[in-house]
């Protein structure tokens, strides 16, 4: 999506946003869009920034560690003095055969993808309650359907969607809205590596595009635009929703290749 299509600068002026896992991929696209809309962006990430990072202040954050999460919130309170928006984006994904799935890798996926948003949202709530605010969880279309060997990923993203509903109910009386975005195939570094590793990269790109009625895959900024809307007053009556951003992929049932 081009800059002209980005949310209006100033929609989030004066607000402070935390984006977990915001140094790359979808998280980086979200951070850029939030900053464009006027928010002060704090990037919570395990990795320290480098010269290529230009959006927001970095704070070290391990979403699986309650102490690290608490330290990040204390830093935000000390430096920014407020918190209005939390984007729970940090996540991991891997493929694993179900019958040989180690408990350790299952637990790791749950810790990052599901327990992480719980810990961050819980620790952020006292700051959000001061003025009201918005929590946006990044789920996935795999919270609705699954690719092969993605049992842990699908389970955690389905859990994120369910937690979104529950937080909307529990936090609504405090003026805190909670929604989720379920991305489809987005052009991130991770997905690009899968495509580039294929012997016929161009054919993979063509077939991926054909999966989507819009005719192309998404960009991180496509997710960022929806996050900005959910974080702004323009969506003030929207909470407890999971918004699918997938170029129509789930809306088109697949046909046999011979009929495609």
Residues marked as catalytic: 153
228: three-class secondary structure by DSSP:
helix
Distance between CA atoms of 58 and 72, rounded to whole angstroms? 10
Q: Which two tokens stand for residue 146?
A: 């699954």
The strand order across the sheet containing 16-20 reads 57-60, 40-45, 16-20, 85-88, 133-138, 176-183, 242-245
CB 57 within 8 Å of CB 64: no
Distance between CA atoms of 182 and 160, rounded to whole angstroms? 10
**Of 125, 126, 153, 127, residue with least CA distance to 140:** 153
Q: Which two tokens stand for residue 88?
A: 């729970």
Distance between CA atoms of 39 and 149, rounded to whole angstroms? 38
C-alpha dist (Å) from residue 212 to 4, 185, 196, 252: 23, 9, 20, 8
Please identify which residue in the block is written with the tokens 């330290």: 71
């Amino acid at each position: 999506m081009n800059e002209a299509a980005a949310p209006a600068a100033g929609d989030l002026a004066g607000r402070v946003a935390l984006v977990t896992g915001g140094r790359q991929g979808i998280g980086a696209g979200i951070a850029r869009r939030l900053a464009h809309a006027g928010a002060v962006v704090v990037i919570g990430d395990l990795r320290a920034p480098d010269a290529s990072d230009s959006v927001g202040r970095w704070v070290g954050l391990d979403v699986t560690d309650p102490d690290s999460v608490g330290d990040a919130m204390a830093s935000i309170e000390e430096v920014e003095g407020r918190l209005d928006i939390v984007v729970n984006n940090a996540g991991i994904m891997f493929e694993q055969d179900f019958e040989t799935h180690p408990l350790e890798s299952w637990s790791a996926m749950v810790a990052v993808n599901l327990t992480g948003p719980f810990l961050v949202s819980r620790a952020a709530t006292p700051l959000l309650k001061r003025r009201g605010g918005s929590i946006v969880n990044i789920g996935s279309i795999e919270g609705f359907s699954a690719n092969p060997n993605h049992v842990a990923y699908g389970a955690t993203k389905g859990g994120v969607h369910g937690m979104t509903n529950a937080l909307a109910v529990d936090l609504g009386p405090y003026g805190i809205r909670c929604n989720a975005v379920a991305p489809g195939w987005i052009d991130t570094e991770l997905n690009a590596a899968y495509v580039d590793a294929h012997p016929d990269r161009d054919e993979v790109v063509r077939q991926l595009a054909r999966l989507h009625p819009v005719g192309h895959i998404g960009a991180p900024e496509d997710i960022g635009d929806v996050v900005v809307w959910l974080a702004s007053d323009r969506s003030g009556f929207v909470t407890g929703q999971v918004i699918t951003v997938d170029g129509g992929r789930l809306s088109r049932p697949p046909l046999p290749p011979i009929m495609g």
